[in-house]
Amino acid sequence: MTAVVARTSSDIEKFLTAYVGEEAYGIGVECIRQIIRTLPVTPIPSTPSYVLGVANVRGKVTPIVSLRAKLGLPEAEPGRWSCIVVVETSRGLTGIQVERVSEVVSLETDRIQAFPELHTTFDRAMVRGALHRDDGLFLVLDIDELLRTNR
């Protein structure tokens, strides 16, 4: 459960770096339960395109969503390094499919700035903030908002 905790400006938060295409996104580690390479996913009829289906994660029937689809990006082949990041929120366990994961980064909370872009292919509430890094923009995701089921 991602707890809302009062943070002082010198707080450090850790994020897993996940890639969709060339863009890097941060997922807070406190909500990550597992990272799985691949998994048979059972598709479900008549669900939004970002719902890939359900899968058996440690004996639990777990919904799997596609980060790419949630970001409103065009479909693409999953790729060799794609994996599923299993997170736990107030909605239970959910698997988020991403194309690649790399290191866990530690960031000072006050380095995360407001996300500037006004025109996005996705709901802005999903991004908590942004950070400029040498290799580009790092978008910190709000997992609760990401999994929020709006249109």
Partner 1 sequence: MSEIGQRAVGTEEDDATGVAEQSFTVPTDLDVDLLPMYLTESRELLDGAEGSLLALEDDPTNADAVRDLFRCFHSLKGNSAYFGLTPIATLAHDAEDLLSGVRDGRRRFDTRCAGLSLACVDTLRAFLESLEGVTPGDTLTCPAGTAGLLRALAQEADPDASPLNEAKTELPTNVGVAAGSAPDPEPEEAPVGKDPAGGEAARNRIVPSVRVPTPRLDRLLEILEELVISQAMVNQNEAVRSRKHPALTRQLSHISKIVRELHDLGMTIRTVPLGRLFQSTRRLARDLAHKCGKKVRVECLGEETEIDRSMVDALGDPLMHLVRNCLDHGLETPADRRAAHKDEFGTLRLSARSSGGKVIITLSDDGRGLNREAILRKALQRGLVDAASVPSDQEVFNLIFEPGFSTSAVVTDISGRGVGMDVVRSTVESLGGRVTLHSEPGRGTSFDLVLPLTLALTEGMLVRVEDRRYVIPTADIVTCVNPSPEDLVDGAGNRAATLNVQGTQMPLLWLSELFALGPGVEEPIVLVLRDLDRRFALVVDDLIGQHQLVTKPLGEVVGRVRGIAGGAILPDGAVGLIIDVQALLSIPRGGATESVPTAA
Question: Which residues of this protein are in contact with partner 1, per CB under 8 A?
Answer: 40, 42-48, 51, 53-56, 59-63, 65, 91-94, 147-150
Give the residue with the Cβ less far from partner 1, 51 or 112.
51
Interatomic CA distance for residues 101 and 22, integer angstroms: 11
11-49 burial, b if ≥16 CB within 10 A, otherwise e? eebebbbbbbeeebbbbbeebbeeebeebebeeeeeeee
Give the residue with the Cβ less far from partner 1, 62 or 82.
62
CB of 134 to partner 1, least distance (A): 35
Pair of tokens at residue 32: 């990550």
CB of 137 to partner 1, least distance (A): 27
Give the residue with the Cβ less far from partner 1, 91 or 132.
91
Terminal CA-CA length for the chain: 24
CB of 103 to partner 1, least distance (A): 27
Give the DSSP per-residue string, 3-20.
------TT-EEEEEEEEE
Using DSSP's 3-state secondary structure scheme, residue 70 falls into helix
Give the residue with the Cβ less far from partner 1, 82 or 94.
94
Give the residue with the Cβ less far from partner 1, 49 or 120.
49
CB of 89 to partner 1, least distance (A): 9
CB of 41 to partner 1, least distance (A): 8
Question: Residue 126 carries which DSSP code?
Answer: G
